[in-house]
Structure 1
Amino acid sequence: MLRNAEYGPRATGYVKGKSLIVGLLLPWALTACMPGTIETAVGTGIVLEQERKYEYQHNVERAVDLYIADHADSPCTNGEDRVLDSAVEIIKKYRLSGFKEVVERLETIYRDPQQTDSVRAAALYNMAVLHSRNEPPNKARAREYFKRLYIEFPDHYRCIFEESEWRDSMIEKQLLLPGETVESFLEDAERDIERRQAE
């Protein structure tokens, strides 16, 4: 008994010492493994980000192609309904901030009285198109910009407002809210335009 009691505290000290050594060595052993783990995680993150970027750029290109196809039958004969190539490039290049940056630049141009009417009208038109074609589309904002374009710049972009099957198909595709028809949209737009012109 005395002998066991004598070795008991030593045995406990031995276990504690062993635990201390394991406790000190384990983090070092894990740290030795960490660089590879971190590199793998970073590498995987870079690959995923690249995949997202390429998918996003592909989606932007697809949206541009769809816009071009939609406007192939446009009544605008001078190409005034084209979207700015520079805006598309910025949106394509900067996945997270490109759209916001382009819209802010266009808004600045639109609000600058030093710019000509044609430049300001083009900024408004491009904002309307970008909002209507964004994913998801902001139809309310697009409608507002198209109305402003119609009211504020009566000598510009009249080709897109002329009555035609093309115009009605674009309204149906890009601007209608749930439950609306092309006719109800046009009636509402007409009332809103008359109200604004009277102010």
Structure 2
Amino acid sequence: MSAALVVNRYAAAVDSVIGGEAGRRWSDERLLPRATNGDLRPIVDVTARFAETLLRLLDAGAALVEQTRAATTSASDDVLELPLVPAGGCGEAPVWVHNPTEVAVDVELLAPPLVAGDGSLLPVAVAGRVGGRRISLTAGASQEVTVGVTVPPTQRAGHYHGLLVGSSMSQPVRITLEVADRDDHSGDRAGTP
């Protein structure tokens, strides 16, 4: 529910209380403290301050939800999908590494082996080096890094999953790869050796 809708509903409720039968009951001396002398302004002022506080609370809650959504979305949306590779082929894809800071940094990129549901493993090369690579980025620089997998001819077909982690990355990048049977070239999107 938007803050504007909450305010509109609250204003309508306050208007109905002040202007309707409930408003007349509020003005009854038996229901109002004697200190107000029948004047509703102190009650309206307190109610308005309460409404402002409630709206600030709603805004803070909405901001918290948005921050949480942004943090979890970035983690789940970063997927590097390597092209379909037949056994005996290779697949690779680029990843961009950014340094948004004002100082030079060394970034260690690590990619443990990809794993299939049956436990089969495939080593991953980052910038031509199996397992990982250290790259240096000057202030504000970006660099493309190639992530690749060479699939042995005897590798089992299946879906392989893994992670690319970096020393300066707040979230890992998921890596996915589908290995096809050596004889299955349907939908082949990658070159063979």
For the superposition of Structure 1 and Structure 2, which TM-score range results when normalised by the shorter chain? Answer: under 0.3
More helix by share: 1
Give the structure with the higher percent strand: 2
Give the TM-score of the pair, scaled to structure 2: 0.28
Q: Which protein has greater RCO, CA pairs closer than 8 Å, 6+ apart?
A: 2
